[in-house]
Chains A and B, each alone.
Chain A
Amino acid sequence: MTRTSEFESFYQASYGRIVALLLGVLGDRQEAEDAAQEAFARALARWPRLSSYDVPEAWVRRVALRLAVDSGRRLRRSIRLSARLTRGGQAPPREPGDRVAFSDLGSALMRLPLREREVLVLHYFADMTAERIAAERGLPPGTVKARLVAGRKRLERELAADRQEARDAR
């Protein structure tokens, strides 16, 4: 198999996972695809070296998450604005095909700080342990665990607030 076809196979196999992961972190499909494609473009530039890695997807995921975090910081203001609008009774942003899920868990997740959202998605969606997240993100394991706990608590509060709002609306 040539390197070109190797990369294509790798890209076809892992693109969906990376985009889904980034969507969980960013809450924006366009931004997620943009960050994912940028990460894959960088991977393509380094493919002769990356192809020798045991798990090239880990490298792409790390780059994509870093891009997503940068992008997320830029979007923080707009996300917060979106969150306030959501809590103000307006319709939350919908994802085609994900309407129900995005309306409760997804929208609550989007109101969490980016650093907590990131570890929650990595842990509960990508099934990564706290130690592995710590290794990939270059953080102390204790920090990752603390963010997981704090994120869980904050998510519970956000979901409870959403349920209360729904009851009040009725």
Chain B
Amino acid sequence: MRDDQLREGMAAWLGPVQQAQVPDVGVIRRRLRRRRARQAAAGTVACALAAAVLVTLAHGRAAHTPSMAGPNRTISVPCRASQLRVDPRAVLVRTNATSMEPLPDTYLLRIRNTGRAACTLTGWPKLSIAVPQAMRAIPVSYGTLITRPVRNGEISRIVEPTAVVLPPRAEAAAMVTVTYPLALRDCASAVWSVTPPQGDPAVLVRRVQASGPHRQLMICRTSAVTVSPVYPAAVPITQNYPRSPPRESPANLSGSLPAGNAGPEAAPYFMVLRRGNAVVYDWRTGRVTAVIRPPRTAPQGFTGVAAAGDDRTFVLAAGAGHSSFYEVALGQLGTVSRSLAQLPVPAVANAGTSFAVSPDDSELALALPQPGGVATDEIMVVSLSDGATRIWRSPDPGSVYAMSWEDPLALRQEVWSGHPRLLVGWADAARAHRVARQRSGLRLLDPAAPGTSLLGSRLVIPATVRVGTLTTLNYPLVTPAGTVVFATMTSHAGGNPQAAVVAFSATTGRPLGVVTPLVDESGFGTWCGALWANASGSRALAACGVQGMVSGTHFSTKNLHFPAPNFGVGSNFFAW
């Protein structure tokens, strides 16, 4: 058979198929939806299996861990409401679910079997909110179930909802995610209730204690005794599940540590809040160079940290309710060279979780939640030399979700005589949605300019910005020169939400590029955001699933030894 005969034969055989009617494109779309659903299910199962393996490895057989049972197996009798005690010391954790706006709040409800016999808690404890009529439509979803042994031990996460056998005195904890509307009113009347799945009467989680160490765990914007709806005081989950703190050891300081001024690759040290302490890491080696403990007057520990422009001076907030602010300086080897000194910042409520220190360490910007039940944040800039304050307000409600200072002096070749500007993440909650959308986004506030209106600031990047399929802005970081803004954005295009860091021009507001890989962002995934940037923004450090360096828009993986949390605990849990 010759070649042309073979070609003709194949054309005669397959040609009619080629001309056959094409199915509707809806077939492809349905197939894609099914495929994504299968992938999501497979991911859930894989996570559950991995978590189960981790549980087994972590606790072994000897540990007093609530055992797991498959959904079709009955190991012990179902738990009754009378034998369950829901610990009102629920831990509020902020998720890193940047794909959702407003950010959801996640609560860890600890449930204890107080009976004498083991019982099975099947499925998620149902949760409802006894609230005024205006709050009825608040969406609630159930997240990861966490179990932990009665005695000290690591917590373990079990993703798959299934039956959990609770031995006597054992505890389980349900993670419940609640998305409050931005303009939530009357949060003081919110009361939680948890309904056991077997339909027994609800167990009410009434109010947390108004005093004591747990007061800060559920701080309301209007009151310190109920659940905080929008931007609560965030507390690291590890505070309630203590682990051994990193120890300061002289051995850690031996070896070839980079000099503090060893080139402009990146600031050598960063500070992370862990268990109420501030821990200093050398990012090149991962070594802990210092552990700073809170002052005795603030036994609750540090609640926030921010870095000045010299990469050596850090400002720490401590205390629940009315925060105090302290300054600490690091030496060449990352150890403390100037111990904690209290700053002359007026006592303001709930200001310890969102603040930024100016690059020259002369001013402190604070986001102040105002009483009234509605999110009406103000921005206060305090002079650290004389304590003078200046306040910016918005005519309508809204929230400040991040702040970052620029530092024009960082570009040493430029002669600059102005005042550094403050990048503010602003979520407007005006009644008219169109107005709120137009105002929301990343705004540059010039503290040297006259006026007290927060809306007098320049909207640099609107909240409605889209970069391909990426939307929403979080964790903004303006470069010292004020030319580039890095922000975390999320995409829903691939089924599961995904996050990436995007660079924008601060001048035009236009995106310069997606600078990190897209990472799955399920709400409980790893933290994603820019960590540090040099003066011009040409080089940055970022963590988004993987950690690495950004040169221009090129990302190269590098272990930064940044302990990226599974739970984002506010924007001030680290400073670089």
A contact set with B: CB distance below 8 Å: 7-8, 11-12, 15-17, 19-21, 23-24, 29, 32-33, 37-38, 40-42, 44-45, 48, 95, 97-98, 100-102, 104-106, 120-121, 124-125, 127, 152, 155-156, 159
Residues of B within 8 Å of A38, CB to CB, are: 31, 35
Contact between chains at B469 and A125 (CB < 8 Å)? no
B401 to chain A, nearest CB (A): 28
Residue contact A17 to B18, C-beta cutoff 8 Å: yes
A127 to B15, CA, bound (A): 13
B57 at the interface (CB under 8 A from A): no
With A41-B35, A156-B1, A159-B1 in contact, do A20 and B27 touch (Cβ < 8 Å)? no
Q: Is the CB of A16 within 8 A of B18?
A: yes
B434 within 8 A of A: no
Q: How many A-B pairs fall under 8 Å by CB?
A: 90
**Contact indicator A11/B25 (Cβ below 8 Å):** yes
CB < 8 Å: which of B1, B6, B28, B469 contacts A11? B28
Q: Is there an interface contact between B17 and A20, defined as CB atoms closer than 8 Å?
A: yes
CA distance A140 to B31 in the complex (A): 34
Contact indicator A23/B32 (Cβ below 8 Å): no
Contact of A40 with B28 at beta-carbon distance under 8 Å, contacts A19-B17, A98-B16 already known: yes
Within 8 A of A (CB), among B8-35: 9-20, 22-23, 25, 27-29, 31-32, 35
Assess whether B563 is interfacial by the CB under 8 Å rule.
no
Q: Is the CB of A24 within 8 A of B14?
A: yes
CA distance A159 to B35 in the complex (A): 41
* Residues from chain A with Cβ under 8 Å of B36 in the complex: 45
The verdict on A37 contacting B28 (CB below 8 Å), with A15-B22, A20-B18, A97-B16 known, is: yes
Most buried by B among A21, A45, A152: A45
In the bound complex, do residue B15 and residue A20 qualify as a contact, i.e. CB atoms below 8 Å apart?
yes
* Cβ–Cβ < 8 Å partners of A95 in chain B: 13, 17
CB contact under 8 A between A23 and B17, given known A11-B22, A156-B1: yes
Q: Are A105 and B9 in contact (CB under 8 A)?
A: yes
Q: Is the CB of B22 within 8 A of A12?
A: yes
Give chain A's interface secondary structure class: helix
What residue of chain B has the Cβ atom nearest to residue A8's Cβ?
Answer: B25
Q: Are A37 and B27 also in contact (CB < 8 A) when A17-B18, A19-B18 are? A: yes
Interface residues as binary, B514-539 with A (CB distance below 8 Å gives 1, 0 otherwise): 00000000000000000000000000
16 A–B contacts, CB within 8 A, in A order: A12-B25, A17-B18, A20-B14, A20-B15, A20-B17, A24-B14, A33-B23, A40-B28, A45-B32, A45-B494, A101-B13, A105-B6, A106-B13, A124-B6, A124-B7, A125-B14
Chain B residue at smallest Cβ distance from A101: B13
Q: A125–B3 Cα gap in the complex (Å)?
A: 11
Contact indicator A7/B25 (Cβ below 8 Å)? yes
Rounded to whole angstroms, the CA-CA distance of A77 and B198 in the bound complex is: 51
Q: A23-B17, A101-B13 are in contact. List 18 more A-B contacts (CB 8 A).
A: A11-B25, A12-B22, A12-B25, A16-B20, A20-B14, A24-B10, A41-B28, A41-B35, A44-B28, A44-B29, A44-B32, A45-B35, A45-B494, A48-B468, A100-B12, A102-B13, A121-B10, A152-B6
- Taken residue by residue from 213 to 236, chain B's Cβ proximity to chain A (1 for < 8 Å, 0 otherwise) reads as 000000000000000000000000
Cβ < 8 Å to A, chain B residues 69-95: none
Binary interface encoding of chain B residues 27-58 relative to chain A, with 1 for a CB under 8 A from any of its CBs, else 0: 11101100110000000000000000000000
Report how many residues on chain B are interfacial, defined by Cβ distance under 8 Å.
Answer: 30
- State whether B13 touches A41 (Cβ < 8 A): no
* Inter-chain contacts of B31 with A (CB < 8 A): 37-38, 41
Instruction: Choose among A7, A101, A152, A156 the residue that contacts B9 (Cβ–Cβ < 8 A).
Output: A101
- Asked whether B10 lies within 8 Å of A19 as measured between CB atoms, the reply is no
The 4 closest A-B pairs by CB, nearest first: A101-B13, A20-B18, A20-B14, A16-B18
For residue B494, which residues in chain A have a CB less than 8 angstroms away from its CB? 45
| A105 / chain B contacts, CB cutoff of 8 Å | 6, 9-10, 13
Q: Cβ of B493: which chain A residues have Cβ within 8 Å of it?
A: 48
Expressed in whole angstroms, the Cα–Cα distance for A44 and B34 within the complex equals 13
Residues from chain B with a CB closer than 8 A to the CB of A41 are: 28-29, 31-32, 35
- Residues facing A in B95-141 (CB within 8 A) are none
Q: Are B7 and A125 in contact (CB under 8 A)?
A: yes
Query: In the complex, are the beta carbons of A155 and B1 less than 8 A apart?
Result: yes
Please give, as numbers and ranges, the residues of chain B lying within 8 Å of A8 by CB-CB distance: 25
Asked if A29 and B17 make an inter-chain contact with CB atoms under 8 angstroms apart, the answer reads: yes
Give the chain B neighbours of A121 by CB distance below 8 A: 10, 14
Of chain A, the residue at the smallest CB distance from B17 is A20
* Complex alpha-carbon distance, A101 and B11, angstroms: 9
Determine the residue in chain B with the shortest Cβ distance to A127. Answer: B7
The complex places the Cα of A11 from the Cα of B3 at a distance, in Å, of 30
The distance from the CB of A123 to the nearest CB of chain B, in whole angstroms, is 9
Minimal beta-carbon separation of B24 from chain A (angstroms): 10
Q: How far is the CA of A65 from the CA of B494 in the complex (A)?
A: 24
* Measured CA separation A16–B18 after assembly (Å): 4
CB distance from A5 to the nearest CB of B (A): 10
CA distance A127 to B9 in the complex (A): 13
CA distance A44 to B12 in the complex (A): 31
Bound Cα distance from A97 to B21, whole angstroms:
13
If A16-B22, A124-B3, A125-B7 touch, does A23 touch B14 (CB 8 Å cutoff)? yes
Distance in Å from the Cβ of B31 to the closest Cβ of chain A?
Answer: 4
Please indicate the chain B residues that have their CB under 8 angstroms from the CB of A21 in the complex: 14
In the bound complex, CA of A12 to CA of B28 (Å): 12
On chain B, the residues within 8 Å of A155 by CB distance are 1, 6
A98 and chain B: residue at smallest CB distance: B13
User: Measured between alpha carbons, how far is A166 from B144 in the docked complex, in Å?
Assistant: 68
